[in-house]
């Protein structure tokens, strides 16, 4: 198995990672209660529902 000749510096590793994160889109799912897009595994910020029940009251 080939082995790298020169070790990459932490700066180069992190720069590369930052460049790829720049184009990564955040994961979004649709809320099962109101249908608005939301982050997975979080309480919906539009209706306050999580896993089919209300866990948070949203001020209107």
**Which positions lie near Zn ion, rule CB under 5 A?**
31, 33-34, 44, 46-47
- Smallest separation, CB 26 to Zn ion (Å): 17
- Smallest separation, CB 60 to Zn ion (Å): 14
Cβ proximity to Zn ion, 14 vs 56, nearer residue: 56
**Whole-number Å distance between alpha carbons of 17 and 25:** 14
List the one residue out of 43, 50, 46 whose CA is nearest residue 58: 46
Cβ proximity to Zn ion, 28 vs 34, nearer residue: 34
């Amino acid at each position: 198995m080939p082995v790298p000749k020169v070790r990459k510096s932490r700066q180069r590793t992190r720069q590369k990672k930052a460049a790829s994160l720049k184009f990564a889109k955040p994961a979004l799912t649709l809320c099962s209660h109101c249908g608005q897009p939301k982050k997975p595994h979080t309480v919906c910020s539009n209706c306050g529902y999580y896993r089919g029940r209300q866990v948070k009251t949203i001020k209107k």
